[in-house]
Amino acid sequence: MLTAVLTVVGLIILTIAIVWLIDKFVPKKVKPILNILLWALIIFLGYLTFDSVYGEIKFNKLKKKRYVTVIESLKDIRDAQLAHRTVTGKFSNNFDDLIKFIDTAKFTITQRKDSTIIDEELTKRFGGVETTKDIVIIDTLGFVPVKDSLFGVDNRYKTMMNIPFDKMKGIKDKKEGKFKLEAGKLAEENIAVFEASVDKDIILFDQDKNLVNKEKQVVAVDGVNGPTLKVGSMTEVYTKGNWPKSYNTKKEE
- 112 and 231 fall within a common domain: no
Is 247 in contact with 224 (CB distance < 8 Å)? yes
pLDDT value of residue 13: 72
Instruction: List average pLDDT for each run of 10 residues in the chain, which is 253 residues long.
Output: 56 66 64 69 66 75 92 96 94 96 80 71 70 67 81 93 87 83 89 96 91 90 91 94 83 45
At residue 3, the pLDDT reads: 54
Q: What is the helix, strand, coil percentage profile of the chain, to 5? A: 50, 20, 30
Q: How many angstroms from the chain centroid is the CA of residue 38?
A: 47
Q: Are residues 204 and 161 in the same domain?
A: yes
Same domain, 71 and 91: yes
Q: Are residues 116 and 230 in the same domain?
A: no
Residue 149 within any structural domain of the chain: no
- Predicted local confidence at residue 66, as pLDDT: 93
Report the C-alpha dihedral over residues 200, 97, 83, 104, rounded to 10 degrees.
140
- 83 plus 36 within the same structural domain: no
18 is in which domain, residue-wise? 4-51
Structural domains of the chain, count: 3
In-domain check, residue 152: no
Q: In sequence order, which residues have a C-beta less than 8 Å from that of residue 252 and are 6 or more positions away?
A: 240, 245
pTM equals 0.71
Residue 85: inside a domain, yes or no?
Answer: yes
Statement to judge: residues 46 and 128 lie in one domain: no
DSSP of 54-113: HHHHHHHHHHHHHHHHHHHHHHHHHHHHHHHHHHHSS--S-HHHHHHHHHH-EEEEEEEE
Q: Is 215 domain-assigned?
A: yes
Q: Is residue 173 assigned to a domain?
A: yes
Same domain for 163 and 123: no
> According to the model, what pLDDT value does residue 124 have?
75
